[in-house]
Structure 1
């Protein structure tokens, strides 16, 4: 099972090896999508957790016990078809190739199932045609 979550760390927990503990203690894989972590600051990590449902639940309980806030990530990328000029700039920053240009029509195609909502495409779009639902 997979869950995309946002983890918020208190300042004192930023130094903890969270992804190591998830893998070693709970057999849960953590694919880091976005990270904002620095010493002596509140940290934020968007991760996709993969593993057995019971192990995922145990891992999330462990993180909560260490004062790590867990929010289910339900954000999605939205593309305003009316505004999009199909320039393709967003395709150059998309790490999963969820955004790509059709080679025949030169129209932007979006494969939502490949998108990890890293949001790198949003500031890249020159006409602000890309946003999130939240």
Structure 2
């Protein structure tokens, strides 16, 4: 099973070897999708965790006990093909490359598995063709 989380590190926790502990103690593979963590400052990391569901639950509980705040990615990004005009504005600000403009075909391409659900693309769309669809 896979889960995407945003992990918020308080100043006193940035030194913790989180991904190492996840691998060794919980047999969880942690794929860091984006991180902004500086020594002696707070930080944020978007990570995709893969492993057994019980181990994922235990790992999340352990991280919270280490003083980390966890946010699950709330849903997925959807693009309405009826409203999208393939302008590519959203692709220019997409940090993961999930949205990309193919100049040869003059079309916007969306690679959903690469999407971080950071929502930066939503306000960039002039026609409001991009939305966050929440999980039920």
Alignment TM class, shorter chain as reference: 0.7 to 0.9
1:62-81 to structure 2, matched below 5 A, reads 62-74=62-74, 76-77=76-77, 79=79
In the aligned structure 2, how far is the partner of 1:116 from the partner of 1:5? 9
Deviations, residues 44-92 of structure 1 (Å, cap 9, x unaligned) = 1110100011111111111111111111012544557646453588279
Q: Distance in 2 between matches of 1:26 and 1:77?
A: 30
Q: Per the alignment, in what secondary structure is the counterpart of residue 46 of structure 1? A: strand
Q: Contact 1:30 / 1:47 at 8 angstroms: preserved in 2?
A: yes
Taking a change above 3 Å as real, the CA distance of residues 51 and 94 of structure 1, as seen in their structure-2 partners, is same
2:58 match = 58
Given the two structures, how large is their TM-score scaled by the length of structure 2?
0.72
The answer on whether the counterparts of 2:89 and 2:125 sit within 8 Å (CA) in structure 1 is: no
CA RMSD in angstroms comes to 3.4
User: Which structure dedicates a bigger proportion of its chain to strand?
Assistant: 2
- Scaled by the length of structure 1, the TM-score of the pair is 0.72
Question: Could you say which residue in structure 2 is the equivalent of 1:49?
Answer: 49
Displacement after TM superposition at 1:40 (Å): 2.0
**Structure 1: 5+ residue runs without aligned partners?**
none
Aligned equivalent of 1:6: 6
What is the count of residue pairs matched by the alignment? 132
Instruction: Please give the alpha-carbon distance, in whole angstroms, between the structure 1 residues aligned to 2:129 and 2:98.
Output: 15
Segments of structure 2 that go 5 or more residues without pairing to the other structure are none
Cα 1:92–1:65 change in 2 (3 A) is closer
**Using the alignment, how far apart are the partners of 2:93 and 2:6 within structure 1?**
25
